[in-house]
Amino acid sequence: MCSIHDRRLRRVRDLPNGDVRIYLELEARRVRCRCDGSVKGERLSFLANNPHYTKRFAWYVGRRCRESTVKDVADELQLHWHTVKELEMQYMRAQLERFGTPGPKVIGIDEISIGKGQTYRIVVSDLIRGRAIWFGGDDRKEASMHQFYDWLGEKKARGIRLVVMDMWRPFYNVAQERVPHAAILYDKFHVIKQLNEALDEVRKSEYARLQGEQRRYIKGQKYVLLSHRENLSMEGRNALKTLLAANRRLNIAYLLKESFGQLWDYEREGWARRFFENWKASLKWQRLKPYEKFAEMVERHWDGIASYCKPENKVPLGFVEGLNNKIRVFQRRAYGLRDEEYLRLKILTCMLPRI
């Protein structure tokens, strides 16, 4: 049994009305337990974890922080940045609680770099629902990858039919051990990234080989060469045209790079294999050593690349890359906030609907 110990008048901030701040004055009671004599405050369900604000004000702050930085929202609402961050974190935890933990059928695995040096965390996404579902680990080794499957549980892990990843061996090894029934698909964007790196090596070797006036066509044209032509401005397209006309090896390397993307258009592995064999044969006599190494890498990982030819594996591969871009934006916005839990919540809720 409890008895009322005292009553206190509390002033809490609520949703604003335009530019007008709204405060509520309410009576908060404290009760004394007759058993042990302890005094406890009354819990009001409409208040945020910070009792000076209502939940709906906290949700308002959380929604504003989806588009703006913590500092900007703090300046707008005339709050301390730490208060804004605390209210936003409560909002994000409520989002996760509302939408729960899905039982993913197709997952995408990638790592992100945090802080200075080679410090990594693993991000796992549900590619069907289009949301990040796990952020953690201490690095990108097998032990960290096991943490995800332990968190997901054996029952939900059995529902995974496809794992999309880059060609990092620890991810592959753990997937083979924990979800051996699932197909492995290597992410198209990581494969193309390695092809772009091969093209850049050719560009560097040509710049080192040439002398004098012939170098000027190559100097400063790295991103013109690596970008898709449709993404270039008129000036960039003219520079690319001049570069390819001036250097035969770069012209061949560029055309090979552009044509390789057709590999993911095939719906039968046999046709995809024939295309790759023809592409690889076109390297003969071209003296493009980086491309030869790239072709050997594709050969070693062929099963994981060719998995995309199956109709059931036609999943949105661009989601993981898009999520990585969002994460980089969060990291730039949160410069100076050394809070990994805050970053984790931002990543896990960035694709969830508002509440």
> Any idea what the CATH number is for the domain that residue 112 is in?
3.30.420.10
DSSP 8-state symbol, 54: B
State whether residue 12 is helix, strand or coil: strand
Say yes or no: 164 and 80 in one domain.
no
pLDDT in the model for residue 214? 76
Average pLDDT over residues 249-268: 91
Residue 336 has pLDDT above 60, yes or no: no
**Which residues are 183's β-sheet partners?**
162
State whether residue 338 is helix, strand or coil: coil
Say yes or no: 197 and 301 in one domain.
yes
Say yes or no: 307 and 200 in one domain.
yes
Residue 121 has which token pair? Answer: 């965390």
Average pLDDT over residues 10-18: 88
Least confident residue range of 64-78, 229-243, 257-271: 229-243
pLDDT in the model for residue 335? 58
Q: For residue 10, tell me if it sits in a domain.
A: yes
pLDDT in the model for residue 3? 58
Domain count, the chain: 3
Q: For residue 317, tell me if it sits in a domain.
A: no
Burial of 249: CB neighbours in 10 Å, binned 0-12, 13-18, 19+? middle
Say yes or no: 308 and 192 in one domain.
yes
Residue 347 has which token pair? Answer: 């990543």
The range of the structural domain enclosing residue 300 comes to 188-312
Q: For residue 159, tell me if it sits in a domain.
A: yes
Burial of 88: CB neighbours in 10 Å, binned 0-12, 13-18, 19+? buried
Say yes or no: 328 and 342 in one domain.
yes
Say yes or no: 210 and 287 in one domain.
yes
Say yes or no: 176 and 193 in one domain.
no
